[in-house]
Amino acid sequence: MELKRSKGHLIVGIVLILLGGIAFAILDLETLGVGLAAPGLVLLIAGLYRATKPETELRVDERMRRINERAGLLAFWQMIGAIGILFWVSIYFPDMFRTTDILTILALIGIYSYFIIRFYYNRKGIK
């Protein structure tokens, strides 16, 4: 395991987890504490995952670059469609969503659609 490749991820992840713990436990800022600790945990896991992969699997070839570009483009258009749908829902039902709910829904749609489309193109292949 080469920690040199992902040392930045690990350090930032640990610092975010510590800051989140301090904000949660000492300062009684629950939302901020969880909001800092969760991305820190994700960065820590990503750093450990990257440190355990061989160097040959980390290089991005042209096929993977095209898959990432196409998946990003489709995830972007899915988010635009979701924005349009949520916009009209908020007009006709103004008390249905709060702004934070809409932003959370859009973030989850963007992230998950990108990873699902990327997985699909990785299995199917791009022509």
CA–CA separation, 55 and 48 (whole Å): 14
User: DSSP character for 54?
Assistant: -
pTM as predicted: 0.54
Task: Put residue 126 in one of left, alpha, beta given phi > 0 → left and psi -120 to 50 → alpha.
Answer: beta
> For 11-41, what is each residue's pLDDT tens digit?
777 788 888 888 877 777 777 777 778 888 8
Phi and psi at 35, nearest 5°, equal -65, -25
DSSP H or E segment with residue 24: helix 7-25
Query: Percent of the chain at pLDDT above 90?
Result: 2
* Every domain of the chain and the residues it spans: 7-55, 60-124
What is residue 28's three-state secondary structure? coil
Q: How far apart are CA 4 and CA 1, in angstroms?
A: 9
Cβ atoms within 10 Å of 7's Cβ, excluding its own: 12
